[in-house]
Amino acid sequence: MNTQNDVVALVNISAQKWPPRHRTYFGSLEIRTPEPGEAFAITPIHACKGIMDLGDKRTMEFPISAREIADDLVLELNGDSGEGSFHGVFVAAGPMPTEEELTEAHRKLDAFHRRLVEAADLEWERSHNPMFITDLERRAARELKLDKPWLYDPKPQAECPACGEKIKAGVAVCRSCRAILNREKAAEFGLVLRESERPLDLMKLREKGSAK
Q: Which residues bind Zn ion (CB under 5 A)?
A: 160, 162-163, 174, 176-177, 179
Of 133 and 167, which CB lies nearer to Zn ion in the complex structure?
A: 167
Of 66 and 173, which CB lies nearer to Zn ion in the complex structure?
A: 173
Q: How far is the CB of 168 from Zn ion (least distance, A)?
A: 12
Q: How far is the CB of 163 from Zn ion (least distance, A)?
A: 3
Q: How far is the CB of 191 from Zn ion (least distance, A)?
A: 14
Of 47 and 160, which CB lies nearer to Zn ion in the complex structure?
A: 160
Of 142 and 178, which CB lies nearer to Zn ion in the complex structure?
A: 178
Q: How far is the CB of 157 from Zn ion (least distance, A)?
A: 13
> DSSP letter string over the chain?
--GGG-EEEEEE-S----PPEEETTTEEEPPP-PPTT-S-EEEEEE-EEEEEEEETTEEEEEEE-HHHHHHHHHHHHHGGGSTT---SEEE-SSSS--HHHHHHHHHHHHHHHHHHHHHHHHHHHHH--GGGS-HHHHHHHHHTT---GGGS-SS-EEE-TTT--EEETT-SB-TTT--BS-HHHHHHTTSS--GGGHHHHHHHHHHHHHH-
Of 73 and 173, which CB lies nearer to Zn ion in the complex structure?
A: 173
Q: How far is the CB of 136 from Zn ion (least distance, A)?
A: 31
Q: What is the distance, to the nearest Å, from the Cα of residue 149 to the centroid of all Cα atoms in its chain?
A: 21
